[in-house]
Chains A and B, each alone.
Chain A
Amino acid sequence: MNQERPLHRSSVRELRDAVASGERSAEEVTRAHLDRIRETDGDWNAFIHVADDAALAAAQAVDQRRSAGEPARALEGVPVAIKDQIVTKGIPTTAGSRMLKGFVPPYDATVVERLRAAGAIIIGKTNQDEFAMGSSNENSAHGPCANPWDGTRVPGGSSGGSAAAVAGGQVPLALGTDTGGSIRQPASLCGVVGLKPTYGRVSRRGAIAFASSLDQIGPLGRTVEDVALGLEVLAGADSRDSTCSTEPVQDYSAQIEEGIAGLRVGLPEEYFGEGIEPGVLDSVREGVRRLEAEGAVVQPVRLPHTEYSIATYYLLATAEASSNLARYDGIRYGHRAEGEDLGLEELYAQTRAEGFGPEVRRRIMLGTFALSSGYYDAFYDKAQRVRTLIRDDFVAAFEQVDVLATPTSPVVAFPRGSRVDDPLQMYLMDIFTLSASLAGLPGISVPCGFSDGLPVGLQLLAAPLQESMLLRAARAHERQFADAGAWPGEGGP
């Protein structure tokens, strides 16, 4: 391990090996990251809750295991931040909403159970757009989160806090949730690696539901290997999630160096059209050339129903959200409107008007409408059928190519406040990530260059359960990318 470099700049692999070998204690590693958070988070606001005491206690327990001679586990002593959308036993969990202020879950999400069992240290809960609805982290009841590359700009969303925390060295690994791009888009804007696994690859149990048929938990890290190490722990069957796949989990981190000679990479024409910033387009094309340099064969492909993805997504996701968020009624937990003589209807209305922010309220109303009697066929049902067409596009494309390469986001990180007044402009931020979500495909965003000093992400997509191939391609790109692992503010481009 590099002794010159501050501990918080180590990778997951380095930290795990240092703790496993006894070179570093888990407590030392944890304290270094807690210090880093304390120093920086006043500026960034990447964390909603830092679980100092619980993290140190967990680290000490890891150290005791080590001194008792127990074998080292997959993420022994590695600090991990959890998006506030994911429930953590005994640690406040709000999904970035006033509605869940003070809610302390009595159980751990399956992914959190798995992280703890792998020796990871749960260090805190990261900032996000409320209930994962947003692309800038500006819809958070806990205030916006800054982009470590430029504090006046957004980190993307909804997993903005997780992306910023990883980008700024507060943690080497963080969990996000991705419903329409909420891992990949902030990873792109913050210059980190973010993976949305295949729908069902990782258990959703404990991920507070936004849109159940789309939601997926995934890791964000600074290197492809770190993300692969994270996925190995997160992925796998869960008898408590009916939609979770029982397919065996692969040794992703061992397979990433296998190379991509002959890999067929498709460039969907629909993803390289208008509306993309020129600097983004240049960097993405540069990224594609790196894949070619590693032996990939590039060809154009068509995904003809791409133009319907935004409409389809915003009908289905809001419909499911209107249902999933019905449980927040102020009766059992969370925010409850005060008032002496509130009738039941008034209590509901007032509680939900106060507890939810404007974007969440907007989506609940849209979704309620889409499911309403008389409108169901025209909206929800039709969107379901278009979703099938979008999925079929990908099925056809993956008969010709192994991987698709696209921009993750049409733009780099934008200034805070510049797009909040126009929800439709904000919805366009997800234009390149939505289709893969609708099709349930795995997707990864990797840093591929800079535009005006801000990171640009390359998105790679693959067929269901092809995470290993995706990570292999991402790693091949990383090998060729000279600025991989660049830190904000220092030695950057």
Chain B
Amino acid sequence: MSDWETVIGLEVHAQLSTATKIFSACPHGGAQGPNQNVDPVSLGLPGTLPVLNRDVVRGAVMMGLATGSTIASVCRFARKHYFYPDLPKGYQISQFDEPICEHGFVNIPLAGGGEKRIGITRIHMEDDAGKTVHDPQRGVSRVDYNRAGVPLIEIVSEPELSHPDEVVAYLKILHRIVRFLGISDGNMEVGNFRCDANISLRPVGSEVLGTRAELKNMNSFRNVHRALIHEVERQRRVLEGGGEVVQETRLWDDVAARTETMRSKEDAHDYRYFNDPDLLPIHLDEDWIRELKASLPELPAEREARYRDTLGLGAYDAGVLTGSPELADYYDAVIGVPGTDPKKAANWVSTELLGQLAREDKDIGESPVSPAQLARILALMEEGTISSKMAKEVFDRVFREGIEPDAVVAEVGGQITDSDQLLKIVREVIGENPSQADQYREGKTQVLGFFVGRVMAATRGKANPPLVNELLKKELDA
């Protein structure tokens, strides 16, 4: 039995969060009900014409620049024809043989360490279709055209992904890029960021690609992974049973946890592409591209490298903190306060803050603790006003009660750093535990920890630990 190599290529669609649709001044996003965000153009009414939204071109070029793609000097729109009720014009306006970006790449992290370069064949612009909702009980289908005409970029990868883990890593990298560029909200659940996967198997060592199946309808990273694992297994069983994989489109059924045939090769569409005569070729001005390139925000990979190499964070923390632009911006705001230690800040953001937020099911954008407040807590700890243990209590109260860190400290009192006051307590504790004191003096110095604990308990954790240590040793050794 031969070993099989999995070959996967991905087509990722990201909705661009522009103010208006791709070919008209119709707003998109924030609709309260079906068919609210529509106009004659997005409904494809007779006589309507498309006019390209410049912000869509901007978004596509930004994605191209962020993935090292070649930006075309001229690109065109083409019509892609098929009939479906949610496609108002009977064709989608997409790009065919002259896309806006080609020959890009991203690097994805590999589970065993290191990176892999995944080629991006092309990025193109197109309009989204509406949504058809079937109601089998009433025997009707309804169509909502809110989404019709919403701008999409489609990012097509080379067939260079060789495991579902890599697919998810690649998707997360792309997702992070569109989020950091601010061109898409990347919401997978509602389909603002979605992918189709072309998947085939071939014997290890073979140069020839096997017959592929196209997989659709995977609306989360988790489902992408499950669907691909399932499909790899399905194809392996077919091949090892001596069968042949059929070229077809398959749908992932989340509930049944399996893929099933949607459309066979025989039913494949002849899209009859031709250049859309309603739209002129787009000439991309070099100066404009240069300006866009200069004004690109710091990309997530660059940011991650800065956190790692310049700030000295560990790879894990750097990865966590660059998970979303909001989180990275939060972190940058914390360390923007002079005197803040980047590593401690990273530790606090990724452990305390994200932990608390996760428990309350909140986003970083909803954090009750502001970057300035967190920086203040770190500063209070640094200057010795509070211990790290107290810092957690202060953090909890700021998080829950929304009060300032300094107000918490004023209320509960700061750390006890007064030697005379502490010496008194130290002597009391030693006096109350003569047998342990004897043990210490007999050379069992680890008993010191016991005394530290007692002192801390007596001061409700406010005693300055180094000072407690120092005083205890001095008294016991005396």
Contact = CB atoms under 8 A, between A and B. Distances in A.
Interface of A: 86-87, 93, 95, 100, 103, 105-107, 109, 204-209, 211-213, 239-243, 319-320, 322-323, 325-329, 331-333, 344, 348, 368, 371-373, 376, 380
Given A243-B278, A323-B81, A326-B91, A372 B47 contact: no
B85 A344 contact: yes
A100 B277 CA distance: 23
B50 A242 contact: yes
Contacts of B414: none
Given A240-B51, A242-B52, A323-B90, A208 B278 contact: no
14 contacts: A87-B47, A103-B46, A243-B49, A319-B274, A322-B272, A323-B79, A326-B83, A326-B89, A327-B44, A327-B90, A332-B43, A332-B88, A371-B272, A372-B272
A109 B45 CA distance: 12
A372 B49 contact: no
B47 A205 contact: yes
B455 to A, nearest CB: 78
B26 to A, nearest CB: 12
A207 B43 CA distance: 16
Contacts of A376: 272, 274
B125 to A, nearest CB: 14
Contacts of A212: 276-278
Nearest to B269: A373
A109 B46 CA distance: 10
A95 B47 CA distance: 10
Given A243-B278, A323-B90, A329 B85 contact: yes
B49 A205 contact: yes
Given A242-B52, A242-B278, A380-B274, A208 B47 contact: yes
Given A239-B51, A242-B280, A333 B274 contact: no
Contact of A105 (B46, B81, B270, B278): B46
Interface residues of B, number: 29
Given A100-B46, A209-B47, A242-B52, A329 B280 contact: no
Contacts of A208: 46-47
Given A242-B51, A243-B278, A327 B46 contact: yes
A204 B49 contact: yes
A329 B83 contact: yes
Nearest to B46: A208
Q: Which 3 A-B pairs have the closest CB atoms?
A: A326-B90, A213-B277, A212-B277
Nearest to A99: B46
Contacts of B49: 204-205, 240-243
Contact of A320 (B46, B50, B270, B277): B277
Interface in B32-86: 40, 43-52, 79, 81, 83, 85
B47 A106 contact: no
Interface in B367-404: none
A88 B240 CA distance: 64
Contacts of A320: 277
A209 B278 CA distance: 10
A368 B91 CA distance: 13
Given A87-B45, A105-B47, A329-B90, 16 more contacts: A205-B48, A208-B46, A209-B46, A209-B278, A211-B277, A241-B49, A323-B90, A323-B274, A326-B83, A326-B91, A327-B44, A328-B90, A332-B43, A371-B273, A372-B272, A373-B270
Interface string B259-293: 00000000000101110111110000000000000
A372 B276 CA distance: 16
A307 B44 CA distance: 36
B133 interface: no
Nearest to B79: A323
Contacts of A205: 47-49
Given A107-B40, A240-B51, A95 B46 contact: yes
A78 to B, nearest CB: 23
Of B40, B45, B277, B280, chain A has the most CB atoms within 10 Å of the CB of B277
A328 B87 CA distance: 11
Nearest to B270: A373
A323 B46 contact: no
Nearest to B84: A344
A474 B277 CA distance: 31
B85 A331 contact: yes
Nearest to A215: B277
B143 interface: yes
Contact of B40 (A106, A213, A344, A371): A106
A428 B451 CA distance: 110
Contacts of A106: 40, 45
Nearest to A380: B274
Contacts of A240: 49, 51
Given A326-B91, A327-B88, A105 B272 contact: no
Contacts of A333: 45
A440 to B, nearest CB: 11
Contacts of A368: 272
A243 B51 CA distance: 9
Contact of B270 (A241, A329, A372): A372
Contacts of B46: 87, 93, 95, 100, 103, 105, 208-209, 327
Interface centre among B43, B47, B83 (most CB of A within 10 A): B47
Contacts of B90: 323, 325-329
A73 to B, nearest CB: 25
A66 B278 CA distance: 40
Interface string B228-263: 000000000000000000000000000000000000
Contacts of B272: 322-323, 368, 371-373, 376
A191 to B, nearest CB: 30
Contacts of B89: 326-327
Contacts of A332: 43-44, 88
Nearest to A320: B277
A95 B274 CA distance: 25
Q: Which of B48, B49, B52 has the most CB of A within 10 A?
A: B49
A319 B45 CA distance: 20
Contacts of B88: 327, 332
Contacts of A326: 81, 83, 89-91
B279 A242 contact: yes
A204 B46 CA distance: 11
A325 B276 CA distance: 14
B270 A348 contact: no
Nearest to A103: B46
Contacts of A373: 270, 272
A206 B278 CA distance: 13
Contacts of B48: 205
B267 to A, nearest CB: 11
Contacts of A211: 277
B47 A86 contact: yes
A319 B272 CA distance: 10
A86 to B, nearest CB: 7
A109 B47 CA distance: 7
B43 A371 contact: no
B282 to A, nearest CB: 10
